[in-house]
Amino acid sequence: MNFINICFSFKGRINRTAWWMMHFLIIAISTITYAAYTASSYLLFITLVSAWMQLAVTAKRWHDRNKSAWWTLVYLIPIIAGIGGLSVWTLSGWWTLIYFIPIIAGGTWALVELGILKGTKGENRFGADSETSSETVIELLIRLCGISSIVFVFGIFFFVFREGAGFLFNGLDLGQFLTSPEWYPTSLSNKRYGTFALILGTFSVTALAMCIAVPFGLGAAIFVSEFCSPKLRETFKIIIELLAAIPSVVWGFIGLTLMNQLIIAVFNVPIGLTMLNGSIMLALMSVPIIVSIAEDALKAVPDSYREAAEALGATRWQVIYRVLLPAAKNGLLAAVLLGAARSIGETMAVLMATGHSVNIPSGPLSWIRTLTATIAAELGEVARGGEHYQVLFIIGVLLFTITFLVNLIADLVIKGIRQE
C-alpha cells in the first residue's frame, strides 16, 4: 500500500503503528499550517483535507479489526451524550453524571479498538494482513529525516541571506565592504561598512593558530597511529576527545585570565589580549580535529606499504617520512583544512581573547577583531531591520560561504583518496 492510499483511501487495512503515526502527522501538519497561514480559504482547505485523512485512516483501522468502517460513528456517542448531559446538568443535580458514562466508555472503547488492539491475523473480509502497512509511513519519515541536512544547509543560507538581502542589493557598496578597513557602523555623520580589517583579522588569527596547531596535531597523529601501544592509543584518544569537548566560552575565559597574564609576563606588554592569545586558544581547539582526521588518514594507508618499506630496511621514521606521509597526504591536507574551518568559524574564544578592536593586524601582539566576533558583539545592540543589522547578516553570508568552500574542498580532497 503506498502512502497516498494510506492517506486518502477508505479501502484496505492498516495496523496500530500506522494509525498512531498518521494521527501525529496530521496533527503536526495542521498545527504548523495554522501557525503559519492566516488566509481563511487555505485554512478551510487544510481542515477539510485533514478531516478526510483522519476518517480514511480510522476506517482502514476498523477494517483491520474486522469491523465495518461505520463504527466510526461511535465517536458521535460522546458528542450526543455530551450535549444531552450538559443540558440536563444545568437542570438537576449530581445524578446526571450518569450521562457522562457513555461519553467516557464510547471514547475509551474506540481508542482501545483503534489504538491498542492488534488487527486480525491473516486475511479478513477487508483485505490482506496489515502487519507491514506502517512501514510505508515509517520509511517516508526516515527519508524525510535523511534529506533534512540538505534542507537545513539550504535553510541556513536562505534565512541568513534573506535578512541581509535588502541592503546587499540596495545600498551596500560591495567594493567598500570587502576592501575598506573602515568599520564605522554607528558613526552619526558617515556610516562606513568596510570589513577588510575584520577579514584580515579572521585570516591572520587562523593562520597563526594553524602554525601552532598543524605541527602538534600532525605530530600527535603520527605518534598515536605509528608509535603507540594500543592501550596508550586509547588513552590519548580519550584525552584528545575531552580536549575537544571543552566549550569555546571556557577557552575564551582562559584566554581572558590565564593566557592574558602569561603573555603580559612573557612579552612585557601592557595587555595580553592579542592575536597571539586568540591563536593559542584556537590552536588548542582545532588540534583535536586535526589529530582525529589525520590519524584516520594514516590508518587508511594499507599495512602492506609499511611492511614493504620495513622489509627493505627502512627505519620507522623513514617509513613515515618516505612512505606514509606521501601516501596519506590528501587526508592530512583535509585535516588541516577542517581545522582551519573550525578556527575561522570560532566565535566566543576570539571575541574574548583577541582584544576586539578594529585594526589591521601588524604582528602577533597586535589587537585584532574577527568577522565572527563582530556579529556576536554587535547583533544584540542594533535595531532590527536597519542597515547595520543587515550588514551583520551579510557578514554571516560571507562566513557561511568561506566555511562552505573550505569544507567542500576538504571533502573533495578526501574523496580523491578513496577513488585512487
Partner 1 sequence: MNTDMQVSPEAMFTETEIGKQKRWIENVMRIFFLVMTSLMIIPLLLIVGYLLYKALPVLSLEFLFTNPKDNMRAGGLWAPFLGTIYLVVVSLLVAAPIGVFAAVYLNEYARESWFTRITNLAVVNLAGVPSIVHALFGVGAFVLFAGLGESILAASLTLAIMTLPVIIASTTEALKAVPMSFREACWNLGATRWQTIRRIVIPNSISGILTGVILQVSRAAGETAPIMFTGAVFYKAIAEGNLFAYNITEQCMALSLHLFTISTQVPDVTEGIPYGTAVVLVGSVLLVNAVSIVLRIYVRTRKKW
Write out the binding residues for partner 1, residues 89-118 only, by CB under 8 A: none
Q: Which stretch binds partner 1 (CB under 8 A): 81-89, 105-113, 323-331, 343-351?
A: 343-351
248 in contact with partner 1 (CB under 8 A)? yes
Q: Map grid coordinates 446538568 to a residue.
A: 89
- Please identify, using beta-carbon distances, which residue of 347 and 359 lies nearer to partner 1: 347
Residue (244 or 365) nearer to partner 1, CB: 244
x/- map, 306-325, partner 1, by CB under 8 A: ---------xxx--x-----
Q: Which of 44, 76, 186, 215 binds partner 1 (CB under 8 A)?
A: 215
| Residues 287 and 243: beta-carbon distance below 8 Å | yes
Nearer to partner 1, 110 or 338 (CB): 338
Q: Does 203 bind partner 1 (CB under 8 A)?
A: no
Which positions from 364 through 393 interact with partner 1, judged by CB under 8 A? Answer: 372, 375-376, 379-380, 392-393
d(CA 231, CA 242): 17
Q: 362 and 199 in contact (C-beta within 8 Å)?
A: no
Q: Is 85 or 288 the residue whose CB approaches partner 1 more closely? A: 288
Closest to partner 1 by CB, 215 vs 363, is: 215
Alpha-carbon gap, residue 378 to 184, rounded angstroms: 12
Stretch that binds partner 1, among 53-61, 91-99, 168-176, 340-348 (CB under 8 A): 340-348
Task: Report the residue number, 16 or 106, with the smaller CB distance to partner 1.
Answer: 16
- The count of residues interacting with partner 1 (CB under 8 A) is 82
Q: What angle do CA 61, 63, 64 make, to 5 degrees?
A: 65
How far apart are alpha carbons 175 and 196 in whole angstroms? 10
Question: What is the C-alpha to C-alpha distance for residues 68 and 240, in angstroms, rounded to an integer?
Answer: 63
* Residue closer to partner 1 (CB basis): 204 or 370: 370
Burial 96-108 (b: 16+ CB within 10 A, else e): beebeebbeebbe
Q: Does 211 bind partner 1 (CB under 8 A)?
A: no
Contact status: 413 vs partner 1 (CB under 8 A): no
- Work out the widest C-alpha separation in the chain, in whole angstroms: 104
- Cβ atoms of 292 and 331 within 8 Å: the answer is no
289 residue type, one letter: I
Would you call 384 exposed, middle or buried from its count of C-beta atoms within 10 A (0-12, 13-18, 19+)? Answer: exposed
With 0-12 / 13-18 / 19 or more C-beta atoms within 10 angstroms meaning exposed / middle / buried, residue 285 is buried
φ, ψ for residue 228 (rounded to 5)? -85, 150
250 interacts with partner 1 by CB under 8 A: yes
**DSSP β-bridge partners for residue 127:** 124
Our CB check for partner 1 shows the closer of 74 and 306 to be 306
Among 26, 275, 338, 413, which residue interacts with partner 1 (rule: CB under 8 A)?
338
Q: Which stretch binds partner 1 (CB under 8 A): 107-115, 173-181, 189-197, 240-248?
A: 240-248
Strands 183-184 and 192-193: antiparallel
| Interface residue with partner 1, options 44, 101, 112, 242 (CB under 8 A) | 242
- Asked if residue 416 binds partner 1 (CB under 8 A), the reply is no
Q: Whole-number minimum distance, CB 371 to partner 1, in Å?
A: 8
Candidates 258, 280, 279, 255; CA nearest to 368 is 279
| Minimum CB–partner distance for residue 71 and partner 1 (Å) | 29
Could you say whether residue 396 binds partner 1 (CB under 8 A)?
yes
Contact assessment for residue 156 and residue 400, using Cβ atoms and an 8 Å cutoff: yes
Contacts of partner 1 in 141-200 (CB under 8 A)? 141-143, 145-150, 152-153, 155-156, 159-160, 162-163
Nearer CB in complex with partner 1: 5/17: 17
Nine-digit cell at 281?
Answer: 586558544
